[in-house]
């Protein structure tokens, strides 16, 4: 049995020996916001913040997260109020099918938390691990640019 | 200002339910046993060991299919589960349901299949020689010739749609012999028809529900796990869920057809195009899917958006033991565009003419005839306008920054700024809109006005393109009611919307929504004896005469509409006829930086001018343009499924390279609005044109930068480096 904090709430779970954090979040803790597009650490759709680090939850062993603090896409908005990253993605057309969106929300939130004024190239580099097949990244770039300008 | 997406907020919050997020009480997990051979006889299939595993609830084979054993969108030729012989690597052979996903996988591993391997046919040219074809299509017209002649051979590779959401769904038995299937698909009703046939049930016993879709791009046109899920659910009497993993998804759906193309262009010395000859072979893979229609499209657009007096096209869709190919964004027009635009550049060179001038000189216009089919062009065809608009857009400044992240090779730090050469390339493409060749193409929508506002009922797939927003906007502007929502009905509740493909939904379902909403408005005004409607009710002048609640006290005001586009017809024996309902064109200009010694490429910038008829939602249109261009970038420089003896060597996101943020060029887009003759407000479909000419524009830019004669996509590092080292030795 492991104990961890997800989005501020305490959780306990008994994950399988080879089970990923992604699977535990989705299938045991009922947090289906993190998505599973590759389960190989290549697409970023499962991005979460684990003890302050951005990780692909599909690559983290659930059993290793005992005692950790995790923030998932479900923990980004403040109740009914969307975060500024979420607002900007909506306003700038950064969401189409939306499958990559939870990962982008988490990764962009982490980027702005750690580097409040990233250059274009910083954004491209920081988000290069999150694949979007729909938007061509244009709307996502505009969202991040808008946030940079406001900051 | 574009209307916001109603599905946007749940998507950014992580609350939007995709088909892979569904669950049901007592649910089992399904998985698929797949052929490890490209071609093999199945000598024995033994399920006993799998069934002996605790938690495994069912193992089904082709003998458990009660109805039609075959499926297929145009010609049902693909077994629901392999029968007697496996014809491609990864073909489903059996399906397993178990208490959880791990047990299902263990069950699948325990299914014993004895194969006798057979030699696969993997070469489409050899397949053609043997008569192994899905369709052979010839277009012959005119006997003009020209004095300036260029010939070339071109190839395009097998691209994967790679939607981020893999195939997934949930089937729930109804306890009375029927089943409800929740599925992400591009065409709910086409799936329904095929599922019903294979289950051997009555249509009303099978209800398909649209579930959240994580992208499509053609990958969800054909059935994948639909029948499997229903079989398992009916067999076990329990809900069954299946989610393909990424490697399985690579063989679980059809791909873009690889093409081999030979071209000959003949022109007058002044650039007038007189004759185009082409031979196009598409590798259709093991089963038909939509190969026939894709092939015809390659042939119909083999000349591009240009006038030409004489055309000879011989096009073949070959049957091989490679993975089946079918619909992907651009649907056959992508392959031939790479051929004809490469040829137009070659011809310009032979003529000593500016390549853009050559295109302008031959540009089709309304009142012309499409050179292949001979069909008179009605509606808008702004070929000149897209070319001239694009030519007038400023080129980006030549700042090759020293930041290694912006150089070809990126953070690999392989290319010094001094090694970079820049090139600019240009291309124009054309695509038909909606279904062609006489298909009875329609979309059904029901508009319903109740006390809480207007509801638009549809079965049309929202694959991410923003149709849901467009339907809401049409509802608002047609009725005056602001509270509009879109509801997805099941197959039992509404008729077909047709497929979310062929760039057709904004026009087709949009057209149906417009008529339905107009009829609802007219009825509301008649009942209320007023002249204006809004969320409060019916108004006469400044006076509210009836509230919405009173107006609809006896039930909602409803109207069901079926929209059809102008009728099309099959071609005659020369490939001629009125086969298309309309067209859209686009032009692309690409700027690339290349390290020619290493063959590394960065696509820096892509500009486009696109014919959109009328932009109903500019933000959604730009989104389609940017996303479509990125798939064109992928085909140009990195995306290819590599096959070895029919086996996919790179079925993962590690090995199949998709453009990332770091690979994304900046895009400037100009929308050319020239309303078309049908479709709501003159709108045209916008999804496919961005993917068609972006690829040849990028390759032209790489040729301009390096001088390498690049004839295949994706361009590989060695294609550039080998020619560069030869050139630099001389
Ligand atoms: S699902 Fe974790 S990186 Fe793709
Ligand atoms: S919006 Fe579809 S993958 Fe990004």
- For B50-101, write each residue's pLDDT tens digit: 999 999 999 999 999 999 999 999 899 999 999 999 999 999 999 999 999 9
Across the interface, whether the CB atoms of B405 and A132 are under 8 A apart is answered no
Task: Please give the angle made by the CA atoms of B95, B99 and B103, to the nearest 5 degrees.
Answer: 65
Regarding the beta carbon of A123 and ligand 1, being less than 6 Å apart is answered no
pTM for the structure as a whole: 0.97
Regarding the beta carbon of B215 and ligand 2, being less than 6 Å apart is answered yes
Distance (Å, whole) CA B191 – CA B208 = 8
User: What does residue B512 show for φ and ψ, rounded to 5 degrees?
Assistant: -65, -40
pLDDT of residue A148: 86
Q: What is the pLDDT of residues B480-501, one digit of tens each?
A: 999 999 999 999 999 999 999 9
Q: In the structure, what pLDDT confidence band is assigned to residue A113 with cuts at 50, 70 and 90? A: very high
pLDDT of residue B724: 79
Across the interface, whether the CB atoms of B12 and A96 are under 8 A apart is answered no
pLDDT of residue B406: 84
What percent of chain B has pLDDT above 90? 94
Q: How deeply is B365 buried, as exposed, middle or buried, from its count of CB atoms within 10 A (0-12, 13-18, 19+)?
A: middle
pLDDT of residue B305: 98
Q: Give the one of B13, B18, B165 whose C-beta lies nearest to A86's C-beta.
A: B13
> Hey, is the C-beta of A97 within 8 angstroms of any chain B C-beta?
yes
Cα radius of gyration rounded to whole Å, chain A: 15
The protein residue with its alpha carbon nearest to ligand 1, atom 3, reads: A41
pLDDT of residue B413: 75
B298, two tokens: 């390659």
Which of B458, B499, B143, B84 is closest to B327 using CA atoms? Answer: B499
Pairing mode of beta strands A53-56, A47-50: antiparallel
Q: Give the one of B4, B165, B622 whose C-beta lies nearest to A97's C-beta.
A: B165
Q: Over B564-599, what HEC string results?
A: ECCCCCCCCCCCCCCCCCCEEEEEEEEEEEEECCCC
pLDDT of residue B1: 61
- Per-residue pLDDT, averaged over A51-68, amounts to 98
Burial call B119-150: b when 16+ CB within 10 Å, e when fewer: ebbbebeebbeeebbbbebebbbeeeebebeb
Q: Residue B387, Cβ neighbours under 10 Å: how many?
A: 22
Distance (Å, whole) CA B666 – CA A76 = 29
Calculate the dihedral angle through the C-alpha atoms of B40, B41, B43, B44, rounding to the nearest 10 degrees.
Answer: 60
Task: Please give the angle made by the CA atoms of B398, B717 and A122, to the nearest 5 degrees.
Answer: 50
Regarding the beta carbon of A56 and ligand 1, being less than 6 Å apart is answered yes
Distance (Å, whole) CA B684 – CA B611 = 8
Q: Which atom of ligand 1 is nearest to the CA of A38?
A: 4
Q: Give the one of A42, A89, A128 whose C-beta lies nearest to B12's C-beta.
A: A89
Q: Specify whether the CB–CB gap between B297 and B501 falls below 8 A.
A: no
B587, two tokens: 């032009």
Pairing mode of beta strands B179-183, B168-173: antiparallel
**Which residue shows structure tokens 């959240």?**
B212
Helix, coil or strand: residue B730: coil
Which residues does chain B have with pLDDT short of 70? 1, 399-402, 725-730
For chain A, positions 56-85, list CB contacts with chain B under 8 A.
72-74, 76-77, 82
Could you tell me which residues are beta bridge partners of residue B667? B606
B689, two tokens: 């044109």
Q: In the structure, what pLDDT confidence band is assigned to residue A18 with cuts at 50, 70 and 90? A: very high
Q: What is the pLDDT of residues B626-678, one digit of tens each?
A: 999 999 999 999 999 999 999 999 999 999 999 999 999 999 999 999 999 99
pLDDT of residue B407: 87
Angle between helix B618-637 and A138-150 (nearest 10): 120
pLDDT of residue B638: 97
Top pLDDT among B406 and A115 is at A115
Calculate the dihedral angle through the C-alpha atoms of B162, B165, B168, B174, rounding to the nearest 10 degrees.
Answer: -140
Across the interface, whether the CB atoms of B627 and A133 are under 8 A apart is answered yes
Regarding the beta carbon of A131 and ligand 1, being less than 6 Å apart is answered no
Helix, coil or strand: residue A72: coil
Q: Which atom of ligand 1 is nearest to the CA of A35?
A: 1
């Amino acid at each position: 049995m492991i104990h961890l904090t997800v989005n501020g709430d305490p959780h306990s779970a008994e994950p399988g020996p080879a089970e990923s954090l992604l699977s535990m979040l989705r299938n045991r803790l009922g947090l289906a916001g993190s998505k599973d597009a590759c389960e190989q650490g290549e697409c970023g759709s499962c991005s979460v913040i684990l003890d302050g680090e951005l990780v692909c939850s599909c690559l983290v062993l659930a059993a290793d997260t005992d005692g950790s603090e995790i923030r998932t896409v479900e923990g980004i908005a403040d109740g009914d109020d969307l975060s500024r990253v979420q607002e900007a993605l909506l306003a700038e057309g950064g969401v189409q099918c939306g499958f990559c969106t939870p990962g982008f929300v988490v990764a962009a939130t982490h980027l702005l938390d750690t580097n409040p004024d990233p250059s274009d190239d910083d954004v491209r580099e920081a988000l290069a691990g999150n694949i979007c097949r729909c938007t061509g990244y244009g709307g996502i770039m505009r969202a991040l640019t808008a946030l940079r300008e406001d900051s | 200002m574009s209307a916001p997406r109603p599905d946007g907020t749940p998507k950014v919050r992580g609350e939007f339910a995709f088909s892979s997020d569904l669950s049901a009480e007592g649910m089992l997990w399904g998985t698929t046993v797949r052929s490890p051979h490209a071609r093999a006889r199945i000598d024995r299939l033994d399920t006993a060991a799998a069934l002996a595993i605790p938690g495994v609830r069912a193992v089904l084979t082709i003998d458990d299919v009660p109805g039609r054993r075959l499926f297929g969108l145009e010609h049902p030729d693909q077994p629901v589960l392999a029968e007697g012989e496996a014809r491609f690597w990864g073909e489903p052979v059996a399906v397993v349901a178990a208490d959880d996903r791990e047990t299902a996988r263990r069950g699948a591993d325990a299914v014993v299949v004895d194969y006798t391997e057979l030699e696969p046919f993997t070469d489409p040219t050899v397949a053609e020689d043997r008569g192994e074809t899905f369709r052979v299509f010839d277009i012959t017209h005119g006997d003009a010739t020209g004095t300036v002649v260029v010939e070339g051979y071109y190839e395009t590779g097998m691209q994967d749609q790679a939607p981020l959401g893999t195939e997934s769904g949930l089937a729930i038995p109804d306890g009375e012999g029927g089943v409800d299937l929740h599925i992400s698909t591009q065409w709910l009703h086409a799936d329904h028809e095929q599922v019903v046939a294979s289950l051997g049930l009555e249509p009303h016993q099978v209800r398909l529900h649209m579930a959240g879709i994580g992208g499509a791009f053609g990958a969800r046109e054909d059935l994948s796990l639909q029948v499997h899920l229903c079989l398992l659910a009916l067999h076990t009497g329990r809900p069954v869920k299946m989610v393909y993993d990424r490697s399985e998804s690579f063989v679980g759906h059809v791909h873009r057809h690889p093409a081999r193309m030979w071209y000959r262009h003949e022109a007058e010395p002044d650039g007038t195009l007189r004759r185009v000859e082409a031979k196009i072979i598409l590798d259709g893979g093991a089963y038909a899917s939509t190969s026939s229609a894709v092939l015809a499209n390659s042939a119909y657009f083999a000349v591009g958006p240009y006038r030409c007096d004489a055309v000879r096209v011989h096009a073949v869709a070959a049957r091989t033991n490679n993975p089946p190919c079918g619909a992907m964004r651009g649907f056959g027009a992508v392959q031939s565009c790479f051929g004809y635009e490469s040829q137009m550049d070659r011809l310009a060179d032979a003529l000593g003419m500016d390549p853009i001038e050559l295109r302008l000189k031959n540009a089709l216009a309304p009142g012309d005839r499409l050179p292949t089919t001979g069909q008179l062009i009605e509606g808008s065809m702004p070929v000149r306008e897209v070319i001239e608009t694009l030519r007038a857009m400023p080129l980006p400044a030549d700042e090759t920054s020293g930041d290694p992240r912006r150089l070809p090779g990126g953070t690999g730090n392989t290319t010094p700024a001094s090694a970079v050469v820049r090139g600019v390339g240009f291309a124009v493409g054309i695509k038909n809109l909606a279904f062609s060749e006489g298909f009875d193409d329609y979309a059904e929508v029901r508009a319903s006005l109740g006390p809480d506002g207007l509801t638009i009922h549809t079965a049309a797939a929202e694959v991410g393109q923003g149709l849901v927003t467009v339907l809401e906007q049409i509802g608002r502007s047609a009725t005056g009611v602001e509270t509009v929502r879109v509801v997805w009905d099941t197959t039992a509740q509404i008729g077909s919307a047709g497929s979310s493909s062929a760039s057709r939904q904004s026009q087709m379902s949009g057209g149906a929504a417009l008529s339905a909403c107009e009829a609802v408005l007219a009825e509301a005004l008649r009942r209320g004896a007023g002249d204006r409607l809004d969320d409060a009710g019916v108004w006469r002048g400044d006076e509210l005469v009836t509230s919405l609640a009173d107006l609809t006290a006896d039930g909602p005001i409803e109207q069901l509409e079926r929209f059809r586009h102008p009728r099309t017809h099959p071609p005659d024996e020369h490939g001629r006829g009125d086969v298309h309902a309309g067209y859209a064109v686009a032009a692309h200009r690409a700027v690339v930086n290349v390290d020619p010694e290493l063959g590394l490429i960065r696509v820096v910038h892509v500009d486009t001018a696109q014919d959109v008829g009328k932009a109903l939602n500019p933000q959604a249109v730009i989104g389609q343009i940017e996303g479509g261009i990125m798939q064109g970038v992928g085909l140009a420089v990195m995306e290819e499924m590599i096959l070895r003896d029919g086996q996919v060597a790179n079925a993962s996101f590690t090995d199949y390279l998709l453009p990332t943020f770091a690979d994304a060029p900046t895009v400037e887009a100009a929308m050319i609005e020239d309303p078309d003759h049908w479709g709501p407000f003159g709108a045209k479909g916008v999804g496919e044109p961005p993917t068609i000419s972006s690829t040849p524009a990028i390759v032209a830019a790489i040729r301009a930068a390096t001088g390498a004669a690049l004839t295949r996509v994706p361009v590989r590092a060695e294609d550039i480096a080998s020619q560069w080292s030869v050139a630099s030795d001389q």
